[in-house]
Amino acid sequence: MQDKIIYLDNAATTAVAPEVIQEMLPYFERYWGNPSSLYDFGQQVRADITDARTRIAANLGASADNLYFTSCGTESNNWAIKETMFAYQNKGRHFVTSSIEHHATSHSAEWLEKRGCEVSYVKVDHNGLINLEDFRAALRPDTVMASIIHGNNEIGTIQPIAELAAIAREHKVLFHTDAVQTVGHLPVNVEDLGVDFLSASGHKFYAPKGVGLLYIRKGVKTKGLLDGGAQERKRRAGTENVPYIMGMARALDLSIEHLSERAAHATKLRNHLISRVLSEVDHCRLNGHPTLRLPGNANISFEFVEGESLLLMLEQKGILASSGSACASGSLDPSHVLLAIGLSHEIAHGSLRLTIGHETTQADIDYTVEAIKEVVAQLREMSPLYEDFIAGRKAVSAIK
């Protein structure tokens, strides 16, 4: 194992930026009062999180009144979906989403189904893109809400959220987007997108894990998941996570300040990585849209290779990435996203997701390409399927 780690799993989480740590420290060491306390020691802290809320809202084109702090992106998605469906149950019980959502959305949809709601899952094409007319066709008079992911965490495809939200609005359907992969990485403005709800999470843009946000358009009915105190305008009880909120505000300021240069850097390295792998390794394919994709995302399937083995062998070379199996579940089922774009189980199992951060260098990428070439060749040498294929016993490879 080499000393240096090449971290290519920025879609899973990012490192906390040093400036963000500096921003947070005073709120552990000195200003640890409760923002709900009436004395100055609490009220000073309240003023600081109010400032953080205003800055974050401005960065998203929202008003501070419409921004709610949560514990993570998962909470934001659960809140937006479950509580809004509940709040509007007199209108109907139909919910629309896509077949390629993060589990925080798809499992919330399953939760709704178990409680008497009906869910329609809009399909995607082979690039992971939703067709606007398919979306329109899924909306019904009793549809309360639609939730569509902005940038896909696995295959990187970016959906036309503004167009989808406009269609939802025409049909008087509320629209939520899971923007966890785009906030801090691409321009995200709630007015330009025209969404009613938007979720984001700090640890995907260089803030710590355990803090997120939900934007809720003014006038939309919804109740928070938690009952308790009057925090977050009585919509999300629980004492505010002051240091993390301050850190998230700083992290978003930094991300926005460097947005175009970082997006250009990640896009360039991603394109370099994809074109080198596709031209230098046989029998592999890019998953996700070739151009409408997250700047730092490369997702590639290698035929005759098992994704988990690929990951372990790359780790031995100091490269940290992710595979296409259902993450963290210990399950061997391939990702629902890879199946939804039409991959066979076999090919989905050979998938590798590499996600680039602003600290990634071209040398990291070139080292990674060499490592992938070596490891894929080694694994194929051990693969009976590959042996059959080479010997002509398996007629054609599924990938050219």
Catalytic residues: 327
Residue 300 CB, shortest distance to ligand PLP, in Å, is: 19
Tokens representing 22 are 């500096």
Using the contact rule CB under 6 A, the part of the chain among 91-99, 197-205, 259-267, 323-331 near ligand PLP is: 197-205
Q: Using an 8 Å Cβ cutoff, are 88 and 77 in contact?
A: no
Residue 355's SS3 state is strand
Among 67, 85, 104, 341, binds ligand PLP (CB under 6 A): 104
Residue 373 CB partners (closer than 8 Å, separation 6+): 280, 281
Residue 178 CB, shortest distance to ligand PLP, in Å, is: 5
Distance CA 81, CA 79 (A): 6
Residue 81 binds ligand PLP, judged by CB under 6 A: no
Q: Which helix (H) or strand (E) holds 317?
A: none
Residue 375 CB, shortest distance to ligand PLP, in Å, is: 26
Only one residue has tokens 């923007």, namely: 179
Triad 336, 85, 184: Cα angle to 5°: 60
Among 181, 287, 322, 351, binds ligand PLP (CB under 6 A): 181
Using the contact rule CB under 6 A, the part of the chain among 69-77, 160-168, 264-272, 344-352 near ligand PLP is: 69-77
Among 130, 180, 251, 352, binds ligand PLP (CB under 6 A): 180
Among 20, 112, 149, 213, binds ligand PLP (CB under 6 A): 149
For ligand PLP, which is the closer residue by CB, 201 or 287? Answer: 201
CA 362 centroid distance within chain = 24
Residue 178 binds ligand PLP, judged by CB under 6 A: yes
Q: Using an 8 Å Cβ cutoff, are 400 and 40 in contact?
A: no
Among 66, 153, 323, 351, binds ligand PLP (CB under 6 A): 153
Residue 38 CB, shortest distance to ligand PLP, in Å, is: 32
Residue 157 binds ligand PLP, judged by CB under 6 A: no
Q: Which residue is nearest to ligand PLP (CB)?
A: 73
Residue 212 binds ligand PLP, judged by CB under 6 A: yes
Residue 72 binds ligand PLP, judged by CB under 6 A: yes
Q: Using an 8 Å Cβ cutoff, are 127 and 96 in contact?
A: no
Triad 130, 134, 139: Cα angle to 5°: 115
Distance CA 108, CA 44 (A): 37
Q: Using an 8 Å Cβ cutoff, are 231 and 71 in contact?
A: no
Triad 285, 305, 294: Cα angle to 5°: 40
Residue 34 CB, shortest distance to ligand PLP, in Å, is: 24
Residue 306 CB, shortest distance to ligand PLP, in Å, is: 24
The region that residue 233 occupies, defined by phi over 0 for left and psi between -120 and 50 for alpha, beta otherwise, is left
For ligand PLP, which is the closer residue by CB, 104 or 256? Answer: 104
Among 59, 74, 78, 97, binds ligand PLP (CB under 6 A): 74
Cα four-point dihedral sign 252, 254, 260, 266: negative
Using the contact rule CB under 6 A, the part of the chain among 24-32, 126-134, 174-182, 304-312 near ligand PLP is: 174-182
Q: Which residues form the interface with ligand PLP (CB under 6 A)?
A: 72-74, 102, 104, 149, 153, 178, 180-181, 201, 203-204, 212
